[in-house]
Amino acid sequence: MGAIMKIRNVVFCLFGFAALVGLISMTEIGTKLRGLLASNPPMDEHSESKPLAMQEIKTLRLSETARKNLHLVSKSVKPQTYWRTIQIPGVITDRPGLSDRGVTSPAVGTVAEVHAFPGDVVQPGEKLFTLRLFSEYLQNTQTELFRATKELQLIAENRARLDSGIQSGAIPAAKTIELENQAKRQVAAIQGFRQDLLTRGLTPPQIDAVAEGRFVSTIEVVAPPPRFLTSDQQAEPNTKMPRYEVQELRVDLGQQVQAGQLLSILSNHQDLYIEGSAFKRESTLLAKVAENSWPVQAEFSDDDGSPWQEVGTPLTIRHLANSLDLQSRTLSFFIPLENQSRSYEKEGQVFAVWRFRPGQRVRLRIPIEEMQNVLVLPAPALVREGPEAYVFQQNGDLFNRISVNVLHQDRLNVVIANDGSVTPGLYLAQSSAAALNRVLKAQAASGVRADIHVHADGTTHAAH
């Protein structure tokens, strides 16, 4: 019994010693904790003086190689005026009366030769067809011209023989008046015949030959002169003449054709239309845009624009259609478009390549609101996280994320309020904002902050 009591006393002593040791340890820990709290008092979560390790990470580091892989470019931003737009679909069409021209037969005949085929490029005045004539009307006109010319010569000879008698008084003066009237009638007839032959496609040298008795049995059909140039401009050597492309051939070799029959269709796509298709409710807005000549932006499908120049003339709406399309119930409006072209030569033939082609789709951006004193960036320069929107400012290898207020965003551009969040003149990344935001999160998760420089002794400070 005594031995059991001794063992119990030893156990109680051991538990008492352990409790005393624990109490002393907790006292020391509490003392150290109070010291830490005294040296680092609690801070509000929005205080800018919170420790670096506890602040939200807004800066990332990106190497030069990584920037090249992202094709990252930074540019300075400054306030500007921006037009908010709406998008309307459109299509490139020929401009009636300017783009296509039909070539018709001037007289009845057969197609003896074809000089220009589809795809060939011809200048005004170049030969298109040779027609062999068997028009009775044209042959009669040539005969009458020859007869009238000979009659005029006979009248002139009679007048010369009678001049001496008229001057001496042996022949009455009435004879002179009669000869003069006959000569005037023949001159008028000759002018009419010559004009008729000109409209039939004969050239002045050919008409002169007909007047001398050498009748024309074949006629050359040539490319017509441009409609927008006067005769004086066409005669000037420095005038740049348009080029026609043979778009369609309507006759075959040896085929008989009638006067006025269509032989071929020539096209010149220098002047085109962009035909937009809008709804009726947008007609008031479109009329205002057309009246004020506000510039319209156009995005052409399947057109990278690399081998061509920028579209120089501002695109403006010329007019609106006064009727709706019965099937689509849309309203058409028309924007003049000046085309660009280049040519190449192959096997002695010249071929044309046009930048814009009828049937090509266009996306039109119609201006509706003017926004002044705003910052404009490309759409890929912005990244969103819920209600927040961010852009990235470049400072060497560092990129700082800045929260901004977005006023407007479309497929191409984003408009930011000039409220001081972004200082004008800062260099902002123009693309890859989403990729930069992912890099920022990855670097934050790694525990190594890009905006903190760590020394060998463990001390840190903000990166320079």
Q: Tens of pLDDT along 199-239?
A: 877 888 888 888 888 888 888 899 988 765 555 545 555 45
Select from 324, 348, 369 the last residue of a domain: 369
Residue 52 domain flag: no
- 151 with 217, same domain: the answer is yes
User: Do 275 and 175 lie in a common domain?
Assistant: no
Q: What is the pLDDT of residue 92?
A: 95
Tell me how far apart the alpha carbons of residues 88 and 278 are, in angstroms, rounded to a whole number: 6
Q: Answer yes or no: do 253 and 224 share one domain.
A: yes
Q: Is residue 51 part of a domain?
A: no
Domain C-terminal end among 248, 266, 284: 266
120 and 240 fall within a common domain: yes
Q: What's the pLDDT at 377?
A: 95
Is 148 inside a domain boundary?
yes
Give the chain's end-to-end CA distance (angstroms, integer).
79
Is 50 within the bounds of a domain? no
Give pLDDT, residue 89. Answer: 94
Please tell me the predicted confidence (pLDDT) of residue 455: 47
Instruction: Select from 352, 369, 386 the last residue of a domain.
Output: 369
- For 21-67, the pLDDT digits (tens) are 444 444 454 444 344 334 444 444 444 444 544 456 789 999 999 99
Looking at residue 346, its pLDDT comes to: 84
Confidence of residue 6 (pLDDT cuts 50, 70, 90): low
3-state secondary structure of 278: strand
Q: What six digits make up the tokens of 413?
A: 């551009």
Do residues 337 and 415 both lie within one domain?
Answer: no
Mean pLDDT of all residues in the chain?
Answer: 81
Q: Determine the pLDDT at residue 457.
A: 47
Query: How many folded domains does the chain comprise?
Result: 4
Same-domain status, 286 and 405: no
Does the residue 48 lie in any domain? no
277 lies in the same domain as 387: no
116 and 251 share a domain?
yes
> Would you state the pLDDT for residue 278?
94
DSSP 226: P
pLDDT value at residue 443: 87
285 and 390 part of one domain: no
Q: Write out the H or E segment, with its range, that includes residue 415.
A: strand 413-417
What is the phi-psi region of residue 125: left when phi exceeds 0, alpha when psi lies from -120 to 50, beta otherwise?
Answer: left
- How much of the chain exceeds pLDDT 70, in percent? 78
Confidence band of 432 (pLDDT split at 50, 70, 90): very high
Q: Which domain holds residue 223?
A: 102-266
Give the pLDDT confidence score for residue 159 in this predicted structure. 75
Check whether 343 has a pLDDT greater than 90: no
CATH number at residue 315: 2.40.30.170
Rounded-to-integer distance, Cα 317 and Cα 278, Å: 13
Q: What is the mean pLDDT of residues 153-169?
A: 73
Contact 57/452 with Cβ under 8 angstroms?
Answer: no
What is the SS3 assignment for 301?
coil
**Average pLDDT value for residue range 92-101:** 89
Higher-confidence residue of 18 and 181: namely: 181
CATH code of the domain containing 457: 2.40.420.20
pLDDT at 372: 93
155-179: average pLDDT: 72
Average pLDDT over residues 148-152: 89
Find, among 395, 405, 462, 389, the residue nearest to 426 by Cα. 395
Q: Residue 307: what pLDDT?
A: 77
Q: State pLDDT tens for residues 354-380.
A: 889 999 999 999 998 889 999 999 999
Q: Is residue 313, in this structure, part of any structural domain at all?
A: yes
Closest CA to 396 of 427, 424, 425, 375: 427
More reliable by pLDDT, 25 or 163: 163
pLDDT at residue 2, rounded to an integer: 54
Do residues 216 and 320 both lie within one domain? no
In whole angstroms, what is the distance from residue 329 CA to residue 135 CA?
Answer: 50
What's the confidence (pLDDT) of residue 34? 45
pLDDT digits (tens, 9 = 90+) for 246-286: 999 999 999 999 988 999 999 988 899 999 999 999 999 99
Q: Which residue has the higher pLDDT, 109 or 50?
A: 109
> What was the pLDDT predicted at 241?
62
Q: Does the structure show a pLDDT above 80 at 96?
A: yes
Question: Per-residue pLDDT tens for 386-410?
Answer: 999 999 999 988 999 999 999 999 8
115/262 same-domain check:
yes
Does residue 225 lie within any of the structural domains? Answer: yes
Please check whether residues 74 and 26 belong to one and the same domain.
Answer: no
Alpha carbon distance 88, 315 (integer Å): 14
Look at residue 38 in the predicted model and tell me its pLDDT: 40
pLDDT at 459 over 70: no
| Residue range 77-101: mean pLDDT, rounded | 91
Mean pLDDT of 111-130: 91
What is the CB-side half-sphere exposure of residue 372 using CA atoms within 13 A? Answer: 0
The confidence score (pLDDT) of residue 168 equals: 63
pLDDT for 25: 47
d(CA 198, CA 367): 52
